[in-house]
Amino acid sequence: MTAIDEPKAQATDSGVDLPRTERPDAPAYLQKYYERTSRGGKSLEAEDRSSNDEGPLYLRRFRERRDDSALSSDIATYDGQALNTNRAWGEVTRTREIIPERREQSAQVTTDVYFVRHGETQGYSTESGLTPLGSWQAHRRGQELARRVLNGHKVIMGCADTNRARQTAEHLRRGMLDQIELFGREAEVGEITTYEEFRNFQVSTPEGMRDVTQAFRQYHKEMERYQRISQGDRPLWLVEVDRFWGIQQGGGDPITHWLTMPMLSFEPPVACVRRFWAGLLRAHSETPGNSIVIATHSGPIRAFATWAMGYDPGEPFNTEAVRVRLIEGGKTALVLYRNRVQEVTVPDLDQLPDWWAGLPSNAVPLTVREDRERA
């Protein structure tokens, strides 16, 4: 008997006998090799497949279904119906709900629209521009958007009528041009156009409709006068603006207050959504391009995303964007925001209701009645 057949103890320096650790049997891969050699080179699975009468019942039934089904066919089927594709395409994923559709079946996107919030600003108490960080944010976002610009593409640039939105659009454009040149692509990036439809939500003041930031100076002056004189009631617009800025100064979220609290002196969120669609469709029809980049404000962007998603997805960060993809035909669009995608119907603005139309004449405001009479 050899040492490999019967392990013997070995003595250590301390005089203790320990058993040997060498295994007398061959490694598993070598044992399998010997078994296949003894069977003439065939594996156990090959022998099981050689006869459908051997093996457990579930295995025999599976073989029968496999022989009768379309598993070996070039046409993939599901529930007995052809999926109109081959098995190689169907095996991209085992979960049938997320099998990608074929390119000829996918929707064709005509235009990508980006509603980009302005970069970090110097403050909201005055109509100020961007900070150095805000300029860098906009330039960096422009470089990121340039990745989706291909050869021959045309990019339309637009902005709201405020300094922070205009400066954001300028840095977005510079960032896109720098990155397009770096990529070696030939694309056209148009000049910046100011669109009235993409302005911030407005406040009705004695001096007319004003951006909520532009109205702060007048609000501050009027509040100081009322605090000194302390006579008479404050007008409604002053009360509502005071609530809005009080939330801002207290560290709260005034945009959530605007979205959820009806205010008679503030432009309602649904009006912002309407004019955003009006501006989008106008820009698309007047200057068609592969991409439209609009630098605007967080309030209307958030209202637009809330309308599309069906819930409030939150305040966009500086230079964060909501992406709208217009589908060929102009009937539907895809709205993308924070890893969420929602298909929406492009509204027909002419078919949207006029809420004053159904009211009797004595319930309609005087200004609306005068507009009707002039029309």
Mean pLDDT confidence for 219-238: 80
Q: Residue 295 phi/psi, 5° resolution? A: -95, 120
For 33, 66, 119, 295, 360, the CA distances from 204, given in Å and listed in that order, are 88, 73, 26, 23, 25
Q: Decide if 197 contacts 276 (C-beta within 8 A).
A: yes
| Number of neighbours of residue 161 by Cβ within 10 angstroms | 15
Q: Which helix (H) or strand (E) holds 123?
A: none
Q: Is the pLDDT of residue 213 over 70?
A: yes
Q: How far apart are CA 221 and CA 357, in angstroms?
A: 38
Tokens found for residue 108: 């064709």
Percent of the chain beyond pLDDT 70?
78
Map residue 246 onto helix, strand or coil.
helix
Q: Which of 19-28, 172-181, 293-302 has the lowest mean pLDDT?
A: 19-28
Q: Which single residue is written with the structure tokens 């070696």?
A: 184
pLDDT digits (tens, 9 = 90+) for 39-90: 776 655 555 555 556 678 877 777 776 665 544 556 666 666 666 655 555 5
Number of H helices, E strands in the chain: 12, 13
Q: Is the pLDDT of residue 188 over 60?
A: yes
DSSP 47: H
Mean pLDDT confidence for 205-216: 87
Q: How far apart are CA 117 and CA 114, in angstroms?
A: 10
Superfamily name with CATH number, domain 109-201+268-351: Phosphoglycerate mutase-like (3.40.50.1240)
Q: Which helix (H) or strand (E) holds 20?
A: none
Give me the pLDDT at residue 2, please. Answer: 44
Percent of the chain beyond pLDDT 90?
46
Q: Decide if 312 contacts 298 (C-beta within 8 A).
A: no
Domain with CATH 3.40.50.1240 in the chain: 109-201+268-351
Tokens found for residue 272: 């912002």
> Taking the mean position of all CA atoms in its chain, how far away is CA 154?
22
Give me the pLDDT at residue 224, please. Answer: 81
Q: Which of 13-22, 102-111, 234-243 has the lowest mean pLDDT?
A: 13-22
Q: Looking at per-residue confidence, does 315 or 365 come out higher?
A: 315
Q: What is the mean pLDDT of the chain?
A: 82
pLDDT digits (tens, 9 = 90+) for 114-140: 999 999 998 777 778 899 999 999 999
Q: Looking at per-residue confidence, does 294 or 94 come out higher?
A: 294
> Residue 203: pLDDT band by 50, 70, 90 thresholds?
very high
Q: What angle do CA 277, 280, 285 make, to 5 degrees?
A: 125
Q: Decide if 315 contacts 301 (C-beta within 8 A).
A: no
**Number of residues in the chain:** 375
Give me the pLDDT at residue 77, please. Answer: 65
> Residue 3: pLDDT band by 50, 70, 90 thresholds?
very low
**Burial of 102 per CB tally in 10 Å (0-12, 13-18, 19+):** exposed
Give me the pLDDT at residue 356, please. Answer: 77
Q: Decide if 172 contacts 307 (C-beta within 8 A).
A: no
Residue of 327, 275, 336 whose CA lies nearest to 114: 336
Mean pLDDT confidence for 329-334: 91
Q: How far apart are CA 317 and CA 312, in angstroms?
A: 14
